Structure 1
Amino acid sequence: MQRFQGEEIMPKRLALQPDAIAMAQELITLFRTAAGGSREELSTQLQVLEGEDTDYRVKRGLAHALSTSFCTFEVRSPLDPAMLRQRVFAGSAQTVPSPQTSSHTLGQLANALSRELEREVSPEQIRAGLYADLPDNHILTQFDAPTPEALIHRYNLSQAQGVLYRASHVTITAHRNDPGEYKLLFRYMKLFGLMAYIEGDADHGFTLTIDGPASLFKPSTRYGLALAKMLPALLHVTRWHLTATLVPRSVSPYTPPLARFSLDDQCGLITHYPPGKPHDSMIEQAFHERWQRTKTEWRLEREVDLIPLPGSVMVPDFRLVHPDGRTFLFEIVGYWRPEYLRKKFSQVRRAARDDLILAVSERLNLEKAGVELRDLPARVVWFKDRIQPKAVLEVLEG
C-alpha cells in the first residue's frame, strides 16, 4: 500500500495510535483462539473480522505478518496423506462410482484400512488425514503472540520492504559507524546473495550499489525477496542513507516510468533480526574457546578491521594482537564450494596483505576448484577437523 508524491513513492505506515493498537490486538486475539484449528478455519474467521470495513487491506496485511512470522502450521495425519489417498483410491476403483454412495464407500474403505492396520489408526483419523497435506487443512500448532506494538512495527517494515521488489538499483551510503556494524551488514548481504559494488573503507564510510530485481534480464521474485530481506539488516547500522530507483507497475497514465524511494537512519523502522551471532560457524567458535585456554600473550579479538578491495570488501574472522604492537588478521577458509574458494583466494591476492593468516582445511579440493597457493601473500595454517592454537602461534612467532 503506497502513494506517489511526485516521483517519490511513500509506503503507507501505521502510527502507534489507540485505534491501530486495538486493531492489532483484535487480530492477535483471533490468532490465539484459532490455535489448534486449520488454516481454512482461520481464514474464515479473518473474513468475518474484515466484514465491510474500509480498512480491510490493513487488516489483511497485519494478518499476513502474523501468519508468516509468528505462526507454525503443520500437517496432522497419522499416515502420509499421499499414501492414504493411494490406498483409498485403489480400493475405490473396485466399486462402481456413484456420487450418491461415495461417502458410504469412503467409510467402508476407511474401516477396511483401519482393520488392515490392526486398528492402530481409526477410520475417523483416516478420513481426516486423507487431504491433510493441502494448505487449507494445515493445523496451526503454535502461535508466538507478539505485542500489538511489535506487530505494527513488523507491518511498517514489510511495507518498506515491498517497495524494493520493483527496484532497478539501490545505493546505500554509511559512514561514522562501528566496524562491527559494517561487518554484520556485509555478512547478511553475502547470505542473501546480493550483487553489489562496494567502495570506501571503515574510516571514511562505504557506498554500496546493489543491483535490484528490475535490473536483471528477467525480473526475479526470488532476488527481489532477497533484496527486501536486506533492509532489516541495514537497520542495525547506526548512520546510513538509502536511495532506490524503481520501475513501478503501470497503474495509470499518471504513473511515472521511474520512481524514487529513500530511507535513512531516522526512518523509525524497527528490525527483528538478531544483532549477530558471536561466531559464524562451529569451527570459529571451537577455535575461539581453545585460544582462551592457551597460555599466550597474543589476544584474539572478534571485531576486526575491514579490508577494502576494488568493488568489494574482505571481512576477516579474527584479529591477533600482541602487547608489543604487532597485529595479524586471521581468516578461516573451510567452505568447500569452488566458486567461494576462487573468490576468497582472489580477494587475498588483491588485498596483498602480509599481515594476513589463512587457516585452510585439508579437506578442501583446491585443485578441483582451480585454486593455487603459490605466490600467496598470506601465511597459511592447515587443519583437518579443528584449528590448533599451537599451529597458529608457530606461524605468528615465525
Structure 2
Amino acid sequence: MLTRAQVDPFVRVVGGVLRIRYLADPDGRVTPFLDRLLRLVRRLEGRSLETVVEALRRQERRVRDASRLAGISRALIEWCDFDAPDGAQQLEAARREVFMTRGAIWPPIPGDALLPFASAAASLGVTADSLQRTLYDDRPGARRLRRVPDGDGRALLARYNLELARGVLRDATRVELQTRGGWRDVFRAVKAAGLMHELVREGARYRLVLTGPAAAFLVRPARYGVRFARVLPVLARSPGWRVNAEVLRDGQPCRVQLRGRARALATGAPVGVEPRRERYDSAWERRFVRDFRASSWAKEHGWHLSRERSPLSSGGTVFLPDFTLRHSDGREAAVELVGFWTPEYLTAKVAKVRAAGDTPLVLVVAKALAVGDGGNAMHDVGGERILWCGQHPRVGDVMRLVERVAQSPPR
C-alpha cells in the first residue's frame, strides 16, 4: 500500500468531498514510460530488492514529479514476487556460530578475517568467503526478484490508480460498496479483514455497508481504514463496482466516491484487471451450466443464468448462491448446488433455507455426493425449495421448482 507521502500530494477536499487526482495519459506519453519501467525491472530478475528500488529511484531524472514516481515504483514492486535467497533461513544460526567463533579466538590477528566463517561455512556447504558476503542476506532488502507480472504499461497505470484509491481508504470510518458480480470473493475478503457488514437491498441491487467490530467505541474511528483498503483489490476484479466512503481528513469528515469497470481504459479512475474466466467449484456445476444453456429454458422460455451475480439476505443470514436465474419479465431466483455433504452440514443448510421464509432460493442436493451414510440418514429431509437428485440435477426439475419460487425484486 502507498504511504501517506505518496498519496497526499494528489488529494484535495472541496466542499466536503475528497477528490483524487489520478494519473491519466491524455497525450500518450505516460504509458510508454511505464512500459520502460517494466522492461527495466524485468532485466533485474534475480537481483535484490535493494537493487530494484535503487534502479527505479534513478529514473527521477526522467520525470517532473518525484512523488508520482515513488508511488508508481512502490505499486510496481508490490506487484512483483520477491523471495528470500537460498539458505537465508539458516543465516541466523550461522551468524551465531560466527560470532562465538570470533570471540573464542580474540584478539584477531592479520590474515584471519575468514577464520571465524570456516566452520559455519562448512556446515552450510559454502565457502567462507561466500558466507562472509551473504551473512545478512535474510534482511528484507536482500530478497531476490523472482517474477515480474506479464502486464504492460496500461496495467501498471491502472494498478497505481487503484493504489491511490486504497491509500485514501486508509482514513475511512465507514464504507459502502456495490458490485455487479463477484460477491463471493468480496465476502471472503470482508471476512478475512475482520470487518462487520450489513447487506441492504435496493431494488434489484445490493449495497454492502462495512464497519469495524468496535468502530462506535474507538477514539480513532479510522483505525479500520487499512482493513477497508484490503477489500478494494478484490472488489476491483468485478465487472463494475462503486464505493462510497466517509473519510477523516485532517480531523475533518468528508466523503469520497470510487468506481471502476474491469474493461475500462486506464485513464482517470481506478480500474480493475480484466475479469477472469468463469470459475466453477466443481465439474458438477460446469455440467449444469452447459445443460442449461443447451435447454429450451434458455432458448425459448426467457430464462437467463448468471454465475454468482447477487447475494440474498433474509433474517440476518446472507446467502451466496452459485447461480442467479432471471426471467425476461423480471422474476428471479437463486440456485445453490450442494456438493459433498454430511448430515450435520446439510441439516444446518436446510435450517437456514427454511428460516429465510419466502426468499427465492432453490437448494439442489445430490444423494450421490453424501459423505459416508449421509444419504440414508437424510432421506426424509425435504421442502418446497429443496430438490433431491441423483448423480446430476436435471435442468427441467430445477427449472420447474424455480418457476414456483421465483419472485420479482422489490422496487
Task: Give me the TM-score of the superposition, normalised by structure 2.
Answer: 0.67
What SS is found at the alignment partner of 1:170?
Answer: strand
Q: CA RMSD in A?
A: 4.8
The verdict on how the C-alpha distance between 1:394 and 1:229 changes in structure 2, with shifts beyond 3 A counting, is closer
The answer on 1:82 being equivalent to 2:106 is no
Alpha-carbon shift at residue 93 of structure 1 (Å): 2.2
Deviation at 1:242, TM superposition (A): 3.7
What per-residue deviation string (whole Å, max 9, x for no partner) do you get for residues 157-187 of structure 1? 22122212222222346xxxxxxx73x2422
Please state if 1:362 is matched with 2:370.
yes
CA distance in structure 2 between the aligned counterparts of 1:309 and 1:75, rounded to whole angstroms: 45
User: Can you list the C-alpha shifts for 1:97-119, whole angstroms capped at 9, x where unaligned?
Assistant: 457777422443355436xx5xx
What is the aligned residue count?
Answer: 359
Change (3 A) 1:160 1:40: same
Deviations 1:258-283 (A, max 9, x none): 11112356995353334244234135
Normalising by structure 1, what TM-score?
0.69
* Correspondence list, 1:78-157, <5 A: 80-87=87-94, 89-90=96-97, 93-94=100-101, 95-97=104-106, 103-109=113-119, 112-113=122-123, 117=125, 121-123=126-128, 126-127=131-132, 130-144=135-149, 146-157=151-162
1:198 match? 199
Shift of 1:58: 0.8
State the alpha-carbon separation in 2 of the partners of residues 281 and 29 from structure 1: 37
Question: Partner of 1:350 in structure 2?
Answer: 356
Decide whether the 8 Å contact of 2:91 with 2:138 is kept in 1. no
One-letter amino acid of the structure 2 residue matched with residue 263 of structure 1: L
Report the Cα offset of residue 318 of structure 1: 3.9
CA offsets per residue over residues 320-373 of structure 1, 9 Å max, x none? 89xxxxx9853134598999995885255314358713327634999xxxxxx9
Q: Which amino acid letter does the alignment assign opposite residue 32 of structure 1? A: R
Uncovered stretches (5+) of structure 2, i.e. residues with no partner: 1-6, 262-266, 327-331, 375-379, 402-411
- Inter-partner Cα distance in structure 1 for 2:35 and 2:136: 33
CA–CA distance in structure 1, aligned partners of residues 141 and 255 of structure 2:
38
- Aligned with 2:185 (options 188, 197, 203): 188
The one of 26, 34, 40 aligned to 2:44: 34
Distance 1:45 1:336, change over 3 A: farther
Q: Give the AA of the match of 1:169.
A: R
Task: Decide whether the 8 Å contact of 2:325 with 2:334 is kept in 1.
Answer: yes
Superposed CA offset, 1:123-175 (max 9, x none): 555455543332211111222353333322221122122212222222346xx
Change (3 A) 1:46 1:396: closer
Q: How far, CA to CA, are the matches of 2:360 and 2:12 in structure 1?
A: 53
Structure 1 residue aligned with 2:306: 303
| Equivalent position SS for 1:67 | helix
Cα pair distance change 1:357/1:87, threshold 3 Å: same
CA distance in 1, matches of 2:18, 2:233: 19
Distance 2:349 2:247 in 1: 30
Corresponding position of 2:329? none
* Paired residue secondary structure (2:200): strand
Q: For the Cα contact (< 8 Å) 2:161–2:269, is it kept in 1?
A: yes
Match in the other structure for 1:272: 272
Shift of 1:302: 4.6
**Shift of residue 229, structure 1, vs aligned partner:** 2.7
User: Does residue 50 of structure 1 match 2:82?
Assistant: no
Report sequence identity in percent: 20
Corresponding position: 1:232 with 2:236:
yes
> Do the aligned partners of 1:50 and 1:56 also contact (CA within 8 Å) in 2?
yes
- Once residues 56 and 341 of structure 1 are traced to their aligned partners in structure 2, the CA distance between those partners, rounded to angstroms, is 60
Among 223, 230, 235, the residue aligned to 2:227: 223
User: Please, which runs of 5 or more residues in structure 1 have no aligned partner?
Assistant: 174-180, 249-254, 322-326, 367-372
